[in-house]
Structure 1
């Protein structure tokens, strides 16, 4: 009889340990209560172990150690790459069903550095989202972030939030509201605003060298000009310095990119800036106005924001592209030097043309 009791208690103990083990596994494959949807991207060729790590990093499971074994046990190993939005109450089994069927419920939107609001709206529309609603929200939505209240309502500015739509990769539900799309981009901008301590620096020191304090909107406008004018990172603080030098001397900025933006506002696309366009009377024509245009002309990144905050100190007043394939510029302090740089550029063009013949 004793041997029977020993076997019985051993089995009970073993069952207890197995039960505890299963509870632990179940606990690790669960998650804390979620109140917001979670965006998940599974890249192509990701292993089961890799998918488990992604879910763990996103807080959708507590621990990925048992994930692979659980998926094999459930016979759902054929999980497909894609972009998914996981609802707050969605269980792991429901996620696996979605991944196995490849039912993507989000749209990937890439906002490229230098994009305008028009460019972003076009990309949204092409991906099945409400591009026109997005443009309307730029002027009409309820402010969510403190910096929005600092942006002026300029009557000649097409979209109030132009320049604040931070370049990045976004994933939106297929029927996402335009206001939520705008807020997602503003949230990324706000992150840079905090990380770079832009507000604090503008209060302490103006990039305009002792002139009256610079506003956030002026800084973002300068950053957008830098973004459109410079392609090489090392040159951007130099270009920033040229812009500030011309502003201090009350010289017209003569930034070709503002002419391109001006025509984009009119629904016209131009590949080159023609002489006749330079002097057209328009608030965004920096060949016709003195000072900054009414607002930003593109979406700058952290690099341009930093350049606008910390321009290189020099005496340059001019720059011109070298047109030698380097994407670099020649810089000059006066008209004479600028004319010499224009001759250099023409020589580069002639050499390039000769090499193609």
Structure 2
């Protein structure tokens, strides 16, 4: 009878391990408790292993050890790329059905830093949204955030909310209303606005005593378009404030680009003939002071720089043209001219290297 008990205990042990393994696999494929929808993006040509990793990163499953085996068992191995919204009550089976069906219930929209309302509208149109309805809502929608009441709408400002549509990656329903799209972007701006304690700094910072929220956002938009190196943004802000203090034209090329965009023309490089003698409120070479409104939509870094400008005596800057995306800063026009010459040599050197194919 010893052989019987040996077989019995072996079977019982195997069964125990099997049950334990089942519960362990079931636990790893389960989801921690969720109270909000989760956005999941499945890139094209993703493997089951990669999809399992994505679900784990999104905390939709606890571990990805058994995901591909479970998907194969459920005959859900052909999962399609797309952006999906996973609701709090949806199980892994629901997710697999969604991924296999491939019908995206969210549209991914990426808004890079420094884009204008025009560029955002074009991107939304390319993603299937109503461009004209979006542009109209920018001036007509009901304010949802307190800071919106501080924004002025002047005669030379085509779109009131230019500058406040925070650059980020968004996921919208295909039939999302333009007001909801705008409020989502404004909500992101509001988060950073509160994080930076903007109103408190407007009241306490000595450099900002004559500034309003709208003026600071305008300065931030100029900084955003002029600087690419994060560490230089406060220094560029200092140049702008220094020029404002002595009533010196800002001479910001990015504002000239925006000026032509307002006139329906797209330009990428600025030449003297484009602004010399041209009467326009956004011409920072002919006018003194800030533009009537922001010229781009800004990041937290640019807004922070506008709120905390570097204290220095620089009045000029020019791109180094050496591939670093940094600038030379000068306190005098003579020094600025020397840096212009160096910048030109750098550009010629870079172009020569590119032409040689090195």
Indicate whether the TM-score tops 0.5.
yes
Deviation (angstroms), 1:101: 2.3
After superposition, the Cα gap between the structure-2 partners of 1:324 and 1:75, relative to the gap in structure 1 and judged at 3 Å, is closer
What are the equivalent positions in structure 2 for 1:1-357 lying under 5 Å apart?
A: 29=30, 38-43=38-43, 51=51, 71-86=71-86, 92-208=92-208, 211-212=209-210, 214-278=211-275, 279-352=277-350, 356=355
After superposition, the Cα gap between the structure-2 partners of 1:94 and 1:326, relative to the gap in structure 1 and judged at 3 Å, is closer
Q: How big is each residue's C-alpha offset from its partner over 1:134-167, in whole Å with a ceiling of 9 and x where there is no partner? A: 1111111111111111111222111111111111
- For residues 100 and 354 of structure 1, what CA distance do their matches in structure 2 show? 52
Is the Cα contact below 8 Å between 1:33 and 1:88 reproduced in 2? yes
Query: What secondary structure, in the 3-state scheme, does the structure 2 residue paired with 1:331 have?
Result: strand
Deviation (angstroms), 1:190: 1.3
Q: How big is each residue's C-alpha offset from its partner over 1:56-83, in whole Å with a ceiling of 9 and x where there is no partner? A: 7767679989877764553324433320
After superposition, the Cα gap between the structure-2 partners of 1:68 and 1:196, relative to the gap in structure 1 and judged at 3 Å, is farther
After superposition, the Cα gap between the structure-2 partners of 1:345 and 1:58, relative to the gap in structure 1 and judged at 3 Å, is closer
- For residues 220 and 346 of structure 1, what CA distance do their matches in structure 2 show? 32
| Bigger mean CA deviation after superposition, 96-105 or 159-168 | 96-105
Q: CA RMSD in A?
A: 3.4
Tell me what 2:4 maps to: none
- For residues 169 and 213 of structure 2, what CA distance do their matches in structure 1 show? 24
Structure 1 unaligned segments of length 5 or more: list them: 1-13
Tell me what 2:5 maps to: none
After superposition, the Cα gap between the structure-2 partners of 1:329 and 1:60, relative to the gap in structure 1 and judged at 3 Å, is closer
Is the Cα contact below 8 Å between 1:53 and 1:64 reproduced in 2? yes
After superposition, the Cα gap between the structure-2 partners of 1:330 and 1:98, relative to the gap in structure 1 and judged at 3 Å, is same
Deviation (angstroms), 1:339: 2.3
- For residues 167 and 136 of structure 2, what CA distance do their matches in structure 1 show? 19
- For residues 270 and 110 of structure 1, what CA distance do their matches in structure 2 show? 22
Query: What secondary structure, in the 3-state scheme, does the structure 2 residue paired with 1:268 have?
Result: coil
Is the Cα contact below 8 Å between 2:109 and 2:124 reproduced in 1? yes
- For residues 304 and 85 of structure 1, what CA distance do their matches in structure 2 show? 32
TM-score normalized by the length of structure 1 = 0.82
Is the Cα contact below 8 Å between 1:85 and 1:173 reproduced in 2? no
- For residues 63 and 234 of structure 1, what CA distance do their matches in structure 2 show? 39
- For residues 340 and 48 of structure 2, what CA distance do their matches in structure 1 show? 58
Is the Cα contact below 8 Å between 2:44 and 2:81 reproduced in 1? yes
After superposition, the Cα gap between the structure-2 partners of 1:50 and 1:90, relative to the gap in structure 1 and judged at 3 Å, is same
| Bigger mean CA deviation after superposition, 190-199 or 257-266 | 190-199
Is the Cα contact below 8 Å between 1:29 and 1:64 reproduced in 2? no
- For residues 92 and 351 of structure 1, what CA distance do their matches in structure 2 show? 57
Tell me what 1:7 maps to: none
After superposition, the Cα gap between the structure-2 partners of 1:51 and 1:342, relative to the gap in structure 1 and judged at 3 Å, is closer
Q: How many pairs were matched up?
A: 340
Is the Cα contact below 8 Å between 2:220 and 2:306 reproduced in 1? yes
Is the Cα contact below 8 Å between 2:31 and 2:59 reproduced in 1? no
After superposition, the Cα gap between the structure-2 partners of 1:157 and 1:70, relative to the gap in structure 1 and judged at 3 Å, is same
Query: What secondary structure, in the 3-state scheme, does the structure 2 residue paired with 1:207 have?
Result: helix
Structure 2 unaligned segments of length 5 or more: list them: 1-14
After superposition, the Cα gap between the structure-2 partners of 1:67 and 1:241, relative to the gap in structure 1 and judged at 3 Å, is same
Query: What secondary structure, in the 3-state scheme, does the structure 2 residue paired with 1:292 have?
Result: coil
Deviation (angstroms), 1:184: 1.4
